[in-house]
Structure 1
Amino acid sequence: MKVFLNGQLVDKKDAVVSVFDHGLLYGDGVFEGTRVYNGNIAFLGEHIDRLLDSAKVIALDIGMTKQELIDATVDTCRANGIENGYIRHVVTRGSGTLGLNPYLCEKASVIIIADNIKLYPQEMYDNGMKIITAGTMRNMPEALNPKVKSLNYLNNIMAKIEAINSGVMECLLLNPQGYVAEASGDNVFVVKGNKLITPPTWCGALDGITRSKVMQLGRELGLDVVEQVMTRYEIWTADEAFLTGTAAEVIAVVELDKRSIGTGTPGPVTHKLVDAYRKLVVEDGIRIDF
């Protein structure tokens, strides 16, 4: 496997960063996850835009333009023969001192990994997944804006631990006010009548690329798509519920905290959105010329 590291494609075993890298020491950096479908890197432009925006917010100079990042991503996929897979972009602050001062770091480290991922078993995509509400609250947007995909995912990991220890693979995170924010790594949607509802990002949800695409697809299907403050009541009483994310794609939620949602099976709107999303990901993006 070849990994892009600071302008070069190197063997996996040689893709290393310093133990003084602030990404390792403090989670100081940003990342993106992108998927490849039949040689098409889905929504790559939007993902790179978000990577650059995240870096700007934390005052991190990536040192590469949008087009350079796109070209490096395509080259990395081509070098590894990835026609279907997953891409992880990681930008760290770079090597510095043991102190917090980010301005003492030499320059950012840019890493692109093209490999494979399987987030959930196929059975869950077929039958839907059961989730719990985590006791861990979502970080306050005033502390760390959820629109920034930073390398510090400890808040999400703490919630994920609760889910796995409870015998499920995913969980719901509430914000400090008790409103629904997101899942540990995915956005949350519910269907109620002709409405497709998702929490606004200011409640603590990532402004997900898949989220925005599903909202677009929902409108094309004639649904009334709204961002609305949501409690668990809206999920428990929904006709359908599902999660969205680059790695997760679109997956139905059929139970929350031992309460069945809708019929307890993936619903018709979820099925339509899954089908529409599968068509979109092979068309919308940047193709790899093998």
Structure 2
Amino acid sequence: MQVYVNGALLPKEQAVVSVFDHGLLYGDGVFEGIRVYGGKVFLLGEHIERLYESARAIRLVMPISPAEMTAAVEKTVAANGIRDGYVRLVVTRGSGSLGLDIRKTSDPQVIVIADTISLYPAELYEKGMQIITASTIRNHPAALSPRIKSLNYLNNILAKIEATDAGAPEAIMLNHKGDVAECTGDNLFLVKKGELLTPPVDSGVLDGVTRRAVMRLAEGAGVTVREVTLQRHDVYVADECFLTGTAAEVIPVVGVDGRMIGDGKPGPVTQDLRQRFQRLTRGELTL
């Protein structure tokens, strides 16, 4: 494996950063997870745009331009011969002192890793999965905006631990108001009376690239899409539920907190959107 670090492709054993890097010390940095299908990097422009927005939000000055960042991703994918896989693009604040002052940091690190990934077992995509609601709430958006895809993922990790302890592959996270936000690594969608519902970004969710793509696919299929505030009750009484994410793609949920969703099987809207998304990744559909 060749890993891109600041302009150079290095064997993974040599792809290192300083122990004084604020990405390690404080989770001070931003990242993107990106998919590769058929050798082409999927929706790369949208990922690069969000990366730079996240960096701007935390006052991280990017060391290279968006065009150079795009080229770095494509170069790393090609160097590793990735046809169908996953890219982790990371930018850290860089090395600094043992303190929080960003003025004492230098040399932001640009890291690109291209590998394969399988987030959930294949059978869950066919049969659907059972998930829970975590007691760990999503970060208050006035404290740390969930729209920033930062290296500080401890909030999500704590909720993921709850899911794992409960024997579930995922967990729904509520926001500070008690409304449904998103899952630990995925956005959430419901289908009710033929309409597609999902929490708005001001509910404290990451504005997922796959989330946006699925919303556009649904609109193109004639499905009404609404961003609305949702409570757990809405999830429990939904006709269908599914999750979206770069790594997860589109995966059905058939049970939440011991309540069966719909008839306990992946629903027709979910299945149709999953098929449309797969066609999109193969270049058979456009947004």
SS for the counterpart of 1:235 is helix
Deviations, residues 224-266 of structure 1 (Å, cap 9, x unaligned) = 1000000011111111000000000000010000000001010
Residue 207 of structure 1 aligns with an amino acid whose one-letter code is: D
What's 2:215 paired with? Answer: 215
CA shift, 1:173, in A, is 0.3
CA shift, 1:62, in A, is 1.6
Residue 62 of structure 1 aligns with an amino acid whose one-letter code is: M
Residue 8 of structure 1 aligns with an amino acid whose one-letter code is: A
- Measured on the aligned residues, the alpha-carbon RMSD in Å equals 1.1
- In 2, the alpha carbon distance for the partners of 1:64 and 1:233 equals 46
What's 2:167 paired with? Answer: 167
Q: 1:19-168 to 2 correspondence within 5 Å?
A: 19-168=19-168
Runs of 4+ aligned residues of structure 1 deviating over 2 Å after TM superposition are: 282-285
Residue 96 of structure 1 aligns with an amino acid whose one-letter code is: G
SS for the counterpart of 2:272 is helix
What's 2:281 paired with? Answer: 281
Number of residue pairs the alignment of both structures matches:
285
* Unpaired stretches in structure 2, ≥5 consecutive residues: none
Deviations, residues 60-117 of structure 1 (Å, cap 9, x unaligned) = 0121111101111111011000011000000000010001111111120000000011
Deviations, residues 15-51 of structure 1 (Å, cap 9, x unaligned) = 0000000000000000000000111111000000000
What's 2:182 paired with? Answer: 182
Instruction: Point out the more displaced range, 61-70 or 153-162.
Output: 61-70
Residue 78 of structure 1 aligns with an amino acid whose one-letter code is: A
- In 2, the alpha carbon distance for the partners of 1:56 and 1:240 equals 37
Residue 32 of structure 2 aligns with an amino acid whose one-letter code is: E
* Unpaired stretches in structure 1, ≥5 consecutive residues: 286-290
- In 2, the alpha carbon distance for the partners of 1:283 and 1:152 equals 34
SS for the counterpart of 1:124 is helix
- In 2, the alpha carbon distance for the partners of 1:14 and 1:282 equals 34
- In 1, the alpha carbon distance for the partners of 2:64 and 2:179 equals 38
| Larger RCO, structure (CA 8 Å, separation 6 or more) | 1
- In 1, the alpha carbon distance for the partners of 2:121 and 2:95 equals 38
- After TM superposition, the score normalised by the length of structure 2 is 0.98
- In 2, the alpha carbon distance for the partners of 1:283 and 1:140 equals 38
Q: 1:231-250 to 2 correspondence within 5 Å?
A: 231-250=231-250
- In 2, the alpha carbon distance for the partners of 1:129 and 1:139 equals 25
CA contact (8 A) 1:40 1:281 kept: no
What's 1:271 paired with? Answer: 271
Residue 215 of structure 2 aligns with an amino acid whose one-letter code is: M
- In 2, the alpha carbon distance for the partners of 1:281 and 1:65 equals 26
CA shift, 1:283, in A, is 2.5
Residue 171 of structure 2 aligns with an amino acid whose one-letter code is: C
CA shift, 1:284, in A, is 9.0
Deviations, residues 139-162 of structure 1 (Å, cap 9, x unaligned) = 011011111000000000000000
